[in-house]
A = this chain, B = another copy of it.
Amino acid sequence: MRMTRVRLCMAEIRLRGPEAELENPTLVEGLPGVGLVGKIATDHLIEHLDMRYYASVHCAGLPRIGIYRGGERGVKPPVRLYVSEARDLFALRSDAPISAAAVEDIADCLTNWIVEQDVTPIYLSGLPADLDDEESRDLYGIATGDGEERLEEADIAVPPEDGVITGPTGALINSAARDDIDSLGLVVECNPQFPDPRAASVLLEEGIEPLAELEVDVEELVTSAEEIRAKREQLAQQMQAIAQEESSQAQPLRMYQ
């Protein structure tokens, strides 16, 4: 009953440095989405675990731009994988928004890589809610394949109502459901308008930490939420702008690190 799929994977993952030796690795996915919750959590993880730049991701439709860090000279592509061998952990970071045109390619390509490397991905998504800054954010866990057990063990709640995941994260989880591979999804309530570091800290503390068996200090995300949000908001606007930008130019990229 299965018909041939004709779409070719035009995307590519290129190693930067040595291959990694991991056992049952987990991937934390930090593509930009509502409230930037996945990106804030993943960027924080990469920095605080001092993860190594492992590979770059290339795919028709991704912005062909160069990213550099203040105080360094090296230019990197915008979508990258990081690794921590000590923690059996990969992290996916994007410094550019993923356009709808690139979503399918990148989802298929990353899913291939996930299968090949036998990685269990944790997909991160915000759930827009009417919250004030101090209120706590609820966290729910969803899954494909045999991912449910791990959520039960980590004591993450079942979603109370029907839901749909869209965007690049939706495409990734759709691929996982289609191919019936084991994956986990974390859905956290968040502010729909602004970057939400508080929701990111819930993702880290209540979701990623128990699931990936690690600890990160999220103090900073919570105490300086206001400041982080301001910086992230600039970033969010800039990332949208980059997507449309056609003329060659350098721009400062104001990120929180």
Residues of A within 8 A of B (CB): 1-16, 19, 31-34, 38, 55-56, 58, 60, 63-78, 95-97, 99-100, 103-104, 107, 109, 112-113, 116-117, 125-128, 141-144, 147-148, 151, 158-171, 173-178, 180, 185, 187, 192, 238, 242, 245-255
Contact = CB atoms under 8 A, between A and B. Distances in A.
Given A73-B158, A75-B142, A14 B178 contact: yes
A73 B159 contact: yes
A63 B169 CA distance: 12
Q: What are the 9 closest A-B residue pairs judged by CB atoms, nearest first?
A: A33-B248, A167-B248, A169-B248, A34-B249, A64-B171, A70-B161, A66-B173, A162-B253, A127-B250
* Interface of A: prevailing SS: mixed
Contacts of A176: 75
A35 to B, nearest CB: 8
Contact of A249 (B2, B66, B128, B177): B128
A248 B6 contact: no
Contacts of A117: 1
7 contacts: A6-B10, A33-B248, A63-B170, A68-B159, A128-B249, A167-B248, A169-B248
Contacts of A34: 247-249
B75 A144 contact: yes
Given A13-B3, A161-B252, A166-B63, A100 B177 contact: no
B158 A74 contact: no
Contacts of A6: 8, 10
Nearest to A156: B73
